Amino acid sequence: MQDTHRSSENPEFKRLWWHSRRGMLELDVLLIPFLEEAYLDLDAADQERYKKLLACEDADMFEWFMQRARPDDADLQRIVDIILTRVQPD
């Protein structure tokens, strides 16, 4: 039997997927793959940080992911770092 909490068929996951679609290609190519490939493996605190990130303005997120600026909020910086590490491994 499939664990619907961890399934991409979960309504909460679907909602996050739609909120991860930003309309800015540079953000879409970071957020959608991260959500699909890594989000479900995050601990609950980091999942909450991701949700908090989605409430931010696209222009701010763009600056953070292009490493032109850093969020003032430590929680947001943590999730930005997690996403950047995932897409730019050493």
- Residue-wise pLDDT for 7-50, tens only, equals 657 899 999 999 999 989 999 999 999 999 999 999 999 999 99
Domain boundaries, the chain: 20-87
If pLDDT is split at 50, 70 and 90, which confidence band does 1 have? very low
> What CATH code is assigned to 20-87?
1.10.150.250
**Burial (CB count <10 Å: 0-12, 13-18, 19+), residue 45:** exposed
Q: How many CB atoms lie within 10 A of CB 40?
A: 15
Residue 83 has pLDDT above 90, yes or no: yes
Q: Are 32 and 17 in contact (CB under 8 A)?
A: yes
Q: What is the torsion angle, in degrees rounded to the nearest 10, for the CA atoms of residue 62, residue 39, residue 72 and residue 26?
A: 0
Better pLDDT: 52 or 88: 52
pLDDT at 79: 98
